[in-house]
Amino acid sequence: MPRTHKLLIATGLILGAALGLAGTLVPSDQLRAVLWTIDGVGLIIATVLLALHFFRAQQDLLAAGFLIYALGESVISAGNAGNLQIALPTFAAGAALWSAGLMLTAIPAGLPLLARIAAALASILFAITSLGTMAGTPMPPLAHPLPFLAYPVLVLTFIGWLIFTLRQPSN
């Protein structure tokens, strides 16, 4: 993996983990929007680069999983700057894509076991969030217990992806 890719992936995953969690804890809607926007862009860059890595390695399920996750992050990012209640359908659609992408990264071998287990669990939690909202039980991004408790599991997934990335030989 090129050194530049490793640096960009690691930076995106770290920003995504740190600023994503921070955004769930701040009381200011404006600050949350800024944190989640930076978090989203970092994660999109990281996951698209991971998708390219796995595509080149002919690991299509992993590549597809990272691309689908990036699409979900893009959809969710579209609602970050507005009222979270108004953006609820956007969040639910993005969470569904997150769920699908995460599960596709959990199924095949190729990532550390911690990342695969965390991705599968996060996938299930975000599927419940998305389907619950679409079935009439609104679960906005800051709702307790879901999706609020799904975010730390998602961060564990990012840590697994980060470990994988840092272990890759640089070329």
Tens place of pLDDT per residue across the chain (171 aa): 999 999 999 999 999 999 999 999 999 999 999 999 999 999 999 999 999 999 999 999 999 999 999 999 999 999 887 788 888 999 999 999 999 999 999 999 999 999 999 999 999 999 999 999 999 999 999 999 999 999 999 999 999 999 999 999 998
In whole angstroms, give the CA distance from residue 42 to residue 14. Answer: 8
The tokens for 3 are: 């050194």
User: Which pLDDT value is given to residue 74?
Assistant: 97
User: Which pLDDT value is given to residue 83?
Assistant: 81
As a whole-number percent, the residues of the chain with pLDDT over 90 amount to 94
In whole angstroms, give the CA distance from residue 36 to residue 66. Answer: 19
User: Which pLDDT value is given to residue 84?
Assistant: 82
User: Which pLDDT value is given to residue 73?
Assistant: 98
User: Which pLDDT value is given to residue 66?
Assistant: 98
User: Which pLDDT value is given to residue 82?
Assistant: 76
User: Which pLDDT value is given to residue 4?
Assistant: 97
In whole angstroms, give the CA distance from residue 44 to residue 12. Answer: 8
Count of domains forming the chain: 1
User: Which pLDDT value is given to residue 85?
Assistant: 82
Residue 80 per-residue DSSP state: T
Range of the domain at 121: 3-167
In whole angstroms, give the CA distance from residue 104 to residue 109. Answer: 10
